[in-house]
Structure 1
Amino acid sequence: MDLSAFKETLAQPAPPEGLSLALQALWWDAKGDWDKAHECAQERDDRDGARVHAYLHRKEGDPSNAGYWYRRAGTKAFAGSLAEEWEELARSFLITP
């Protein structure tokens, strides 16, 4: 699935089967359900989960907590817009096997 196809699934009431937890988190975030997105991010205790977790706390307006999760992910804080970060994350998770 590419980014365009992933975005098209946002018209559905639930994420498509087979998405990773990180992609499910981004899917729920795009649907406006921050809590559900956060639950998915918390379930994935790895780099991808930490990256989504950082993005979500940045979106929430909690830079300190976001910074913690960026450090856990081993990456610098994202400097662009939230929309740009969401797309970068989605693209990277869609190409990851």
Structure 2
Amino acid sequence: MKHAADSAEAGAGSPVLHEAVQELVRLLQELRGQVAAPSAQAIDDSLASISPEGDTDSQRQHQALMAVAGIAATVGAIGQPVLDAVTKVLALLGVGQ
């Protein structure tokens, strides 16, 4: 059961989680240049709450993850890597969508 194993390895300071969040941030920065200005602004607003360097509570982080997942879902194929990365981060955090 890989999902459970991923969650078990992914405490708050986990290198696995940190790496997954860094990859998500990289993908969001790429996506940001391919979406309309309001969506780019929403990505910018969410990045601080998602960033591994951020000091964000889990509720705010979850809201930011869901916001960028919504943007990624609406832009189709170009957003799929972001959507996959958000799903991975949520799984590592032990939070269901």
With normalisation by structure 2, the TM-score equals 0.34
Q: Which structure is higher in RCO with an 8 Å CA cutoff and minimum separation 6?
A: 2
Higher helix share: 2
